[in-house]
Each structure stands twice: as C-alpha cells, then as structure tokens.
Amino acid sequence: MLNTESPKIKIKRMLVCLALVFAIMAMAAPMVAARPKEGSKAAKKDPLADYLKRVSGPMSPAVAPTTPGSLWVDSGRMANLVSDYKASRVGDLVTISINQNLSSTSTGNVATSRAFSASSGITALGGHISTSGVANLFSPNSTQALTGKAQATSTTALTTTLTGRVAAVLPTGTLVVEAERQIMMNDQKETVILRGMVRPGDLDATNTVASNSVGDMEVEVKGKGVLSESTRAPNPVIKWILRVVGF
C-alpha cells in the first residue's frame, strides 16, 4: 500500500508530535524539581533530629492510654496548681548563660647525649719488626647530642547569653533545649547555635541555667562575611601546594 500523504501533512504531523513531547516534558519538570536530590540541602538530615536521636537513648515502653473521665485531665495546663513558672513543656523558653573558658598547656623537654670511642692496632711483631706504622690501625670516634623543646598553648573563651526553646522532653523529664542567635554587623554575619540537655531542677526562678549545668552541650559559632573571608583556611588544592613547596 503506497503512502499518499503530502510532505506538508507529514511536517504538520511531526510538529504536533514534537509539541506533545515538549508538553509532557514541561509537566514532568516540576515533579523532578520538587524531588530532593541525594546530597542536596533538602535531603540532608536535620541537625536537631540527629541530636534528639543521640540523646534520647532507649525509649521507655509506651504508657497505656487512660480514659480522662469527667472534666479533669491529668496533663492539663492547670492540673498542678502549685507548679512554678519554669520551663517544662515543649516550646517553653529557656535562657542559657554561656561562660566557657578553656585553657590547655603542654610543655616538653628532651635532651640526649652519646659518645663513642675505639682504638685498634698492633703494638708488637716477632723478629724485632717495627710496629710504628701499624700501631693505630683503626681509631673511630663518634659524638651525638640532641636537645629539643616543645610547647603548645590553647585558649578558648566564649561568654554570652542565649534564649532558646524546649525542643523535646525525654521520658526521664530532662529537657532538650535549642537556642540560636544571628547577628549581622558591618557586612559580617555571626551565628551561634547551642543544643543541650537541662534538668528542670537546675533552672532558677527566671528560667535561666548556667552552661556548666547543661549536659551533652553542643555550641557552634559560625561567621560569614568580610572577616571570615580573610581568615578562613585555604582550600585543599592550596594546602597541597603549600605542603609540597614548603613556604
């Protein structure tokens, strides 16, 4: 059977097929873009979720639900009329007073000395043969000395006050707190992030706790801007070049 279609009809059919292909690709593009790629920021784990997973430990068995009966609920906000104004629930504010001063010093001295001396020769031969030429055949001498000193000093100081929120309450009653502060000044952005565990009994009347009483505390101080760009470490390529060249 012969194909009697004209070239114009074939071109129109090809254009319609291409239009359908482009339409399908346009509809599928948002779905592909919405799916987070592996390794992207959206696919990365939440730091707070990772922290909660580490500090939660083995979970206690779930308590069987009870019927609340009448108007009384044990977990109600006004159930405990003698409770003070302290953080005890998820979302409550907690103030952490950070005053960390870390200092370490290491000093070492090494001194060694070694001396070696030997003498070997012939002092007499039979037949009254002179031994003046072979009296000292081998006389090695060696002296070695080593003196070394090393000293390392590290000092870190951080003093600030952060107010965060209770992110979770562990089965033991311990509060997991998270606080974050961002400061933008003179084209320099400073971010301070704190996570830790706080016992309700360590909170004072103003819902403040000292950093020394925070368990498993994690503090991140990150900077981005003019100062950070001028003081940041070189990239791996520059590090490798400096290691090879030596200056």
d(CA 119, CA 96): 76
Question: Using CA atoms, how far apart are residues 56 and 169, in angstroms rounded to an integer?
Answer: 9
C-alpha 32/C-alpha 40 separation (Å) is 14
40 with 98, same domain: the answer is no
In a domain, 52, yes or no: no
Mean per-residue pLDDT over the chain, rounded: 76
What is the pLDDT averaged over residues 181-197? 85
**234, 162: one domain:** yes
Q: Please check whether residue 62 lies inside any domain of the structure.
A: no
Domain containing 38: what range?
8-44
DSSP H helical ranges for the chain = 7-34, 47-56, 226-231, 236-245
Chain-centre distance of CA 165, in angstroms? Answer: 22
Residue 46 vs residue 227, higher pLDDT: 46
Query: Over pLDDT 90: what percentage of the chain?
Result: 4
The predicted-structure confidence for 132-163, as pLDDT tens digits, reads as follows: 666 777 777 888 888 888 888 888 788 888 88
Q: Does the residue 83 lie in any domain?
A: no
150 inside domain: no
Whether residues 31 and 97 share a domain: the answer is no
Query: How confident is the model at residue 244, as a pLDDT?
Result: 73
Is there a domain that residue 69 lies in? no
How many structural domains does the chain have? 2
Domain assignment present for residue 164? The answer is yes
233 and 172 within one domain:
yes
Tell me, yes or no, whether 40 and 162 share the same domain.
no
Q: Is residue 245 part of a domain?
A: no
Q: How many whole angstroms separate alpha carbon 18 and alpha carbon 26? A: 12
Residue 97 lies in a domain: yes
Q: What is the pTM of this model?
A: 0.51
